[in-house]
Structure 1
Amino acid sequence: MNLNNKTLLITGISGFIGLRATELAMAQGMKVCGLQDSSDKNKKAQNLGAKVIYGSVTDPTAAQKACLGVDIVLHTDELAKEGGSLDKFRERNVEGTVNIAKAAKNAGVKTFVHLSSVLVYGFNYPDRITEDGPLRGEDNPYCQTKIEAEKALLELNDPGNFGIIIIRPGDVYGPGSIPWTIRPLMMMKQKLFAYANDGRGVINHVYVDNLIDAIFLAIEKEAYGEIFNVTDGQETTWKEYFTHLAEVAGLAAPFSLPKDELKLFLKLRYQGQKLFRKEADLLPEVVDFMTRPYAYSIAKAQNRLNYQPTIDLKEGMRLTQEWLKKTDLQKFVQ
């Protein structure tokens, strides 16, 4: 498929990935529109030239309106937290995903790309796990609902009429990434950030531009019914990543705590925030997310899509550093 002059709808367009996808899609000659939650007043996508419809992916009327005249949907909208109510996760991540997919199919959209997550494999998985590997919900609402959404979407796959592509990104970092750039740096500034067990294990980072390159390749090759793991393909320890992140921000290297101690600290912190009716910024479950042990295989994306990550960690951190020099991180957490 030639992407030039195609109309792309991005759900969650004002988010970190949505905004960068908007910029890169327009650079490829695509027309971009977006569906964004009405509570989000961010005008950045509109300032880039995208037409934005305000409404929820769970609203059939808003979904139908957004999909009119669209060739491709990139579904990035999600509830992404370390824990919480399964019902709330299911409403957004499963029901919302199915709703926008059905609206797209009814509107004649040919390609639907769903941004899932490598967390469908859970926290304890085999080294170099492939897309065929076992899926584990781990009693975690994010992991569980990402698995449920994938299953529901694949039932709608109808190549030639309505093709589904599922992308399972690793840990997406870069300018604007809340979990892997902004939040760790904010906590480092407060001297509250620690990694677990001396930072052993592997962070499967993917620079945001590499991820979007893989998405565009999958669309161009019309890889319908297929699932792809997408990371930078580097084996970087958690310690190496967060030490490097601290360096580019001019901060002291973070310290380490045993996993159980770190979980206890975050549990007590969470209980204190609840006591003072403050919104929790970090849940104890984050430790499970940040102690995954192995790398995921990206061989399928490399072989099937000719995906080759062009921005390695050194360059990704340099680009992030340039962004940090001109950005007030505080505005992202207010």
Structure 2
Amino acid sequence: MNLSQKKLLISGTSGFIGLRAAELALAQGMKVRGLQHCTDEAKKAQELGFEVILGSITDPAIAQKACQGVDIVLHTADMANESASLERFREVNVGGTVNIAKAAKNAGVKTFVHLSSVMVYGFNYGDRITESGPLSGENNSYCQTKIEAEEAILQLNAPPDFGIIIIRPGDVYGPGSIPWVVQPILLMRQKLFFYVNDGRGVINHLYVDNLIDAIFLAIEKETYGEIFNITDGQETSWKEYFTRLAEIAGVAVPNSLPKEELKVLAQLRYQGQKLFGKKADILPESIDFISRPYAYSIAKAETILGYKPKIHLKEGMQYTQEWLQKTDTIKLI
């Protein structure tokens, strides 16, 4: 499929990945429409010069309106707030995904790309795990509902009329990333960020532009019904990544604590913030996310898509540093 002049709907254009996807799609000559629920973020889209529809992915009427006249849907919107209930996660991550996919199919959209997550493998997976799994919800609402969403929308896959592609990105960083750039830096400034178990294990970092390159390759090759792990393909330790992040932010390199001790401290802080009605900045569950042990395999994407990460960690950190120097990160949380 030639992407030039194709009309692309991006759900979640107010988000870090969605907004960057819109920028790069416009640069490729695509026409872009955004779907987002937050009016405050519409200004960013307007500055890029594309149409935005305001509303929720869980609203059938809004979904139908957004999908009219569209060739491709890139679904990036999801619920990642770990303090939300499982029911709320299911409403957005499963119900919302199915709703927008059904609307796309009814509107004659040809390609639907669902942005899932490597978190479908849980926290205790084997080294170089492939797309065949096994999958594990780990009693975590985000992990579980990402699995459920994949299972639900694959039932709608019906090429050549309507094709589903699932992308499982790793830990996406770059200018604007909240979980892997902004939040850790803010905690480092307060001396509240620690390595887990001396930073052992592997962060499967993925620079945002590399992710979008992979998405466009999957669309061009019309890989319907397929699932792809996407990372930068490097085995970088958590310690190396967060040390680099501290350096570009100009803050002290974090110290290390044992995993179970750090979980206790995170739980105490969470309970204290909840008691005083403050938004939690550290959740006990987040410790599992930053202590995963192994790399995910991207061999399938390399073979079928010809995917090759163009931006490596050193360059990606440089771009992130340049963004940090002109951004008030506190306003992003």
TM class by smaller structure: over 0.9
The residue number in structure 2 matching 1:318 is 318
Q: What's the counterpart of residue 166 of structure 2?
A: 166
SS in 2 for 1:77: coil
2-structure distance, mates of 1:237, 1:279: 29
- Residue in 2 aligned with 1:119? 119
Q: Measure how far apart 1:249 and its partner are.
A: 1.1
Dislocated runs of 4+, deviation >2 Å = 38-42, 81-84
- Match for residue 155 of structure 2? 155
Which digits, 9 at most, give the CA deviation of each residue in 1:107-164, with x for residues without a partner?
Answer: 0000000000000000000100000020000010000000000000100000111000
Using the alignment, how far apart are the partners of 2:261 and 2:42 within structure 1? 38
Alpha-carbon distance, 1:41 to partner: 4.0
Q: Separation in 2 of the partners of 1:18 and 1:40? A: 15
The question of whether the paired residues in 1 share the 8 Å contact of 2:167 and 2:229 is answered with yes
The reply to whether residue 54 of structure 1 matches residue 22 of structure 2 is no
Tell me which residue corresponds to 2:24.
24
Any idea what the Cα deviations from partners look like across 1:70-94, whole Å, max 9, x if unmatched? 0000000000133531100000000
2:294 is the counterpart of 1:298 = no
Alpha carbons of 1:40 and 1:77: their partners in 2 closer, same or farther (altered >3 Å)? farther
State the distance in 1 between where 2:328 and 2:200 align: 31
- Aligned partner of residue 288 in structure 2, secondary structure: helix
What is the match of residue 99 of structure 1?
99
Are the counterparts in 2 of residues 170 and 204 from structure 1 also a CA contact under 8 Å? Answer: yes
Distance between the aligned counterparts of 1:4 and 1:305, measured in 2? 18
RMSD of aligned alpha carbons: 0.9
| Identical pairs, percent | 74
Aligned residues: 333
Structure 2 residue ranges without an equivalent (≥5) = none
- Cα deviation, 1:202-228, whole Å, max 9, x if unaligned, reads 000000000000000000000000000
Letter paired with 1:263: K
The residue that corresponds to 1:178 in the other structure is 178
Per-residue deviation, 1:250? 1.2
2:90 corresponds to: 90
CA distance in 2, matches of 1:41, 1:153: 28
Superposition pairs of residues 1-334 of structure 1, within 5 angstroms: 1-38=1-38, 40-333=40-333
Aligned amino acid, residue 96 of structure 1: G
Measure the CA separation in 2 of the matches of 1:42 and 1:49: 11
**8 Å contact 1:83–1:285 — kept in the other structure?**
no
SS at match of 1:43: helix
The Cα of 1:6 is off from its aligned counterpart by 0.3
TM superposition shift of 1:195:
1.5
Is contact 2:42-2:52 (8 Å) kept? no
By how many angstroms is 1:165 displaced? 0.2
* Distance in structure 2 (CA, Å) of the matches to 1:149 and 1:40: 28
In structure 1, how many angstroms separate the alpha carbons of the residues matched to 2:46 and 2:78?
20
Paired residues of 2:229 and 2:296 also in contact (CA < 8 A): yes
Deviation, structure 1 residue 104:
0.3
- Secondary structure of the equivalent of 2:308? coil
Could you tell me the TM-score, scaled by structure 2's length? 0.99
Cα deviation 1:52-86 (Å, max 9, x = unaligned)? 00000000000000000000000000001335311
Tell me the secondary structure at the aligned position of residue 264 of structure 1.
helix
User: How big is the shift at 1:39?
Assistant: 5.4
Amino acid at match of 2:193: F
Q: CA deviation at 1:38?
A: 4.1
Q: Deviations over 1:230-263 (max 9, x none)?
A: 0000000000000000011111101111001110
Counterpart contact for 1:13–1:34, Cα < 8 Å: yes
Q: In structure 1, what is the Cα distance between the partners aligned to 2:318 and 2:91?
A: 38
The answer as to whether partners of 1:83 and 1:142 remain within 8 angstroms in 2 is no
SS at match of 1:58: coil
| 8 Å Cα contact 1:94/1:149 also seen in 2 | yes
Q: Does the residue aligned with 2:22 lie in a helix, a strand or coil?
A: helix
Distance of 1:82 and 1:291 partners within structure 2? 17
Whether the aligned pair in 2 keeps the contact of 1:194 and 1:255 (CA below 8 Å) is yes
Cα distance in 2 for partners of 1:41, 1:160 equals 35
Letter in 2 for 1:181: V
Could you say if the C-alpha distance between residues 42 and 273 of structure 1 is closer, same or farther in structure 2, counting changes exceeding 3 Å?
farther
